[in-house]
Structure 1
């Protein structure tokens, strides 16, 4: 399983916000901390807002903040919201499946079990778990406490 950069950036934004509780964080600030293009983060931040993970405030003095406490944001929920699909192999897509062995193949079931297990691990972790030891992260991102 491989996450898209979109999801990777979403998780980074959420971690940054969790490390800055009680204040608004700008997309430019997140971009500078991670050395990522601001333009890439704008769309990701918008989708995080639509999914209910962040609150966005526009205009002068605006920015982002977590919509819920980090303990209430399951990583599995974020991944599901940000990833476009989980079609690991062709047969996961009923409409586009043209694999001739699909009716007898046991690989699909095995991969589905693996995907479910992977998501279950992510469901067992929260954003709070990712920032449990904030000091090293704050130092690496040049954030003040």
Structure 2
């Protein structure tokens, strides 16, 4: 099985965002760091934002960041979001013409079991599993300035909703 470039880029973008903590990152900076298409990443951002994996902040100084901690982002879930289908062979697609041997073929069951095993392994890992203990190395390879995270996504929401008292002069 081979994952699409779309999924590959989505996973790379999430790694980039994961090692950046709660900092907002620009799509252009991520694309430049990996040497990949900014246009491809823009489509992926929309997909991941709609599915609640990342959040997008518009306006001057805006950008993107993870919508939840890396430990809550399962790799299997990202693959399910970004892969348009998981048809290992044509008989997995109900809209495709039937194979001549489909009524007596057990290959579909074998491949279905293999796919389930593949996804089960991916479901066993989170974004945190692939970046923890490698964060500074990844940051260095991508030219990312190393800074400590300030707030978790939940803390950001709390800080953003607090009212700030006005100063009396």
Relative to the length of structure 2, the TM-score reads: 0.84
Partner-residue secondary structure (3-state), 2:6: helix
Task: Note the C-alpha offset of 1:118.
Answer: 0.2
1:123 maps to what in 2?
Answer: 123
Gaps of 5+ in 2: 147-169
Q: Deviations over 1:21-54 (max 9, x none)?
A: 1210110110111011211111111111011100
Structure 1 stretches of 4+ moved >3 Å: none
Determine if the alignment matches structure 1 residue 22 to structure 2 residue 19: no
Partner-residue secondary structure (3-state), 2:79: helix
Task: Note the C-alpha offset of 1:94.
Answer: 1.8
Q: Supply the distance in 1 between the matched residues of 2:14 and 2:77 (Cα, whole angstroms).
A: 12
Q: Deviations over 1:44-93 (max 9, x none)?
A: 11111011100011221110010110000000000000000001111101
Aligned residues: 145
1:33 maps to what in 2?
Answer: 33
1:136 maps to what in 2?
Answer: 137
2:52 maps to what in 1?
Answer: 52
Q: Supply the distance in 1 between the matched residues of 2:61 and 2:91 (Cα, whole angstroms).
A: 48
CA contact (8 A) 2:22 2:66 kept: no
Q: Supply the distance in 2 between the matched residues of 1:123 and 1:98 (Cα, whole angstroms).
A: 31
Aligned Cα root-mean-square deviation (Å): 0.8
Q: Which has the larger radius of gyration?
A: 2
Gaps of 5+ in 1: none
Task: Note the C-alpha offset of 1:95.
Answer: 2.2
Partner-residue secondary structure (3-state), 2:64: strand
